[in-house]
Chain A
Amino acid sequence: MKIDLAQVKALLLTDRQADRVVPPTGFTASLTLFSAGVMAFLAVFALALSLATGRLADRWGNELARTATVRISAPEGQMAAQTAAALRVLETTAGVDRARALTDEEQAALLAPWFGPGLPISDLPIPRLIEVIETSDGFDADGLRLRLSAEVPGAMLDDHTRWRQPLVRAASRLRLLGWVSLILIGAAVGAMITLAANAALAANAQVISVLRLVGAQDTYIAHAFVRRFTLRALSGACVGMVLGCGAILLLPSAQIEGGFLTGLGFQGWHWIWPLIIPLLAAAVAFVATRLAAQRTLKDMP
């Protein structure tokens, strides 16, 4: 099926007379509006889920992938010496951009969520953490481990892969699920509009036969229906989209403690995405009604 700009323009500019050849229907019109609205509302959430989990997956995948941690567990007296030795090893390792030992305050801040504030950290045998930032090429983790074990017995390299990968995988799955939901919602809109359009075409069989008798071409008849359902889907979806965005705005804002659960929503230019939902709904309605009309008209005398 070919849809060119001229057809879309004609659809929008069709005179009111052409609109009026099909009698108005109150109840089914409201049902179509309602269904399109509900679908747009759900689509906003599916979209928000996809984008939020997408952000998570990207962050975990990129940012964390370029960092690693070296943990130094050593008796009190050797801690400083082993830390310095580990830093020396890291500085001479290819693929390490920079390495930095965390201060006592930073380590206390990391533990605060678990033990509460005011922890007397200096009294505890806490290992020292060294934050390693990789270059874009990355380093050879196994090689580094060997060198560290030879020169710094208390050092332990953690390249984050162990806990990062399942999270990235989960986030990617969630994102995929969100997109699949969006596609399913679009398909459901198409099915719903097709049913409504078929009902309208069947109910107006006499109108169509009169139009045929006086020389109306199929495109003229189809337009009357296509325009109607496209506008209904568009306006219903607009209302649903606005309500959905309102609900997203009312969600608690993202916090460090809440992790990814409260990050559901749109950020920055991503707020443009929900605006596309009504347009997509209208496009789906346009195609669905056109196909339904072409199918029905083909079988009419």
Chain B
Amino acid sequence: MWPLGHLGAVSDKGTAVIELENVAYSYGGGELLADVSLALSPGSFHFLTGPSGSGKTTLLKLCYGALVPTAGQVRLFGQERRTMERDDIAMVRRRIGVVHQDCQFLDHLSVSENIALPLAVSGRDLLAEDANLRELTGWVGLKERANALPPELSGGERQRAALARAVIMSPDVVLADEPTGNVDWEMSQRLLRLLIELNRMGKTILIATHDLALIRAAKSHVQARVLRIASRKLQLAGADL
């Protein structure tokens, strides 16, 4: 459907790419997450759901190393988070694509330069990657908008640009936080299809969403597990969703 050979398949199948073990996280006084254990195996597809403010975003941040757990252990590609230096985190971010709910870009650079940003910061040859960049921009349907500036994009276009930026490095994992939060149903279906397609290429996907309809729509296409945060704990939701 989308000829994206360069995105490739993930290696080291079997061991979990991201692993949380009895993790707790507290902001100031209150504890937001407690005793959370989670292992994302390569090629898996997870949804993360739960009421607003239940800690979905916090859990995702723990998964890409932006937060350090107050208790328990987080392992990213086998590395213990607490032992990682800032540069180690940077290297891990090149293997984990992140799509935020409020996607942030460098507003003075064009959409196409923003999508290519991960290549630029990791010192890749942008000219050599130009074909991939065009292909990817087309894949997310932003070919016409490649030279626009991010503030000129609509909510859906921003989400798609963020997704393209998240996957241009061919990461092993894609974490998406409410990727369909700001877009209409049709656009959310489109984004979901893009994520499912990435999963078929072997990427590990974790989507935080409170949109149950989206989860149902996904389940007919992909074998997805649904995790739910309820009263600070992470549970595997039933198949009756």
Give the interface of A toward B (CB within 8 A). 17-18, 20-21, 23-24, 206-207, 209-220, 297-298, 301
Contact = CB atoms under 8 A, between A and B. Distances in A.
Contact of B121 (A206, A209, A215, A298): A215
Contacts of A23: 106-108
Interface of B: 66-67, 86-87, 89-94, 98, 100, 104-109, 113, 117-118, 120-122, 126, 165, 169
Nearest to B64: A213
A218 B117 CA distance: 15
A282 to B, nearest CB: 25
Contacts of B100: 213
Given A206-B104, A210-B106, A215 B169 contact: yes
A297 B66 CA distance: 14
A247 B13 CA distance: 72
Nearest to A214: B118
Nearest to B88: A217
A13 B193 CA distance: 42
Given A215-B94, A297-B86, A21 B104 contact: no
Give the residue among A17, A18, A211, A214 with the most B Cβ atoms within 10 A. A214
B210 to A, nearest CB: 23
Nearest to A21: B106
A215 B109 contact: no
A39 to B, nearest CB: 30
Given A23-B106, A211-B121, A213-B98, A218 B93 contact: no
A201 to B, nearest CB: 15
Nearest to B92: A215
Given A17-B126, A21-B120, A217-B91, 15 more contacts: A17-B113, A20-B113, A21-B106, A21-B117, A210-B106, A211-B117, A213-B98, A213-B100, A214-B117, A214-B118, A214-B121, A216-B90, A216-B122, A217-B87, A301-B67
Nearest to A213: B98
Contact of A215 (B66, B104, B122, B126): B122
Nearest to B107: A23
B108 A24 contact: yes
A214 B120 CA distance: 10
A214 B165 contact: yes
A212 B61 CA distance: 13
Nearest to B86: A218
A213 B121 contact: no
A24 B109 CA distance: 11
A297 B86 CA distance: 9
A218 B87 contact: yes
B152 to A, nearest CB: 16
A224 B122 CA distance: 14
Nearest to B68: A301
A-B pairs, 4 with minimum CB distance: A216-B121, A215-B93, A215-B94, A214-B118
20 contacts: A17-B113, A20-B113, A21-B106, A21-B109, A21-B117, A21-B121, A23-B106, A23-B108, A24-B108, A206-B104, A209-B104, A210-B104, A210-B106, A210-B117, A214-B117, A215-B93, A216-B90, A218-B87, A218-B90, A297-B86
A215 B90 contact: yes
B100 to A, nearest CB: 8
Nearest to B169: A215
A217 B90 contact: yes
Contact of B120 (A17, A212, A298, A301): A17
B98 to A, nearest CB: 6
A18 B106 contact: no
Contacts of B91: 215, 217
Nearest to B126: A17
B196 to A, nearest CB: 23
B104 to A, nearest CB: 5
B120 A18 contact: yes
B118 A215 contact: yes
B105 A210 contact: yes
Contacts of A213: 93, 98, 100, 104
A70 B89 CA distance: 82
Nearest to A297: B86
Contacts of B66: 301
A214 B186 CA distance: 28
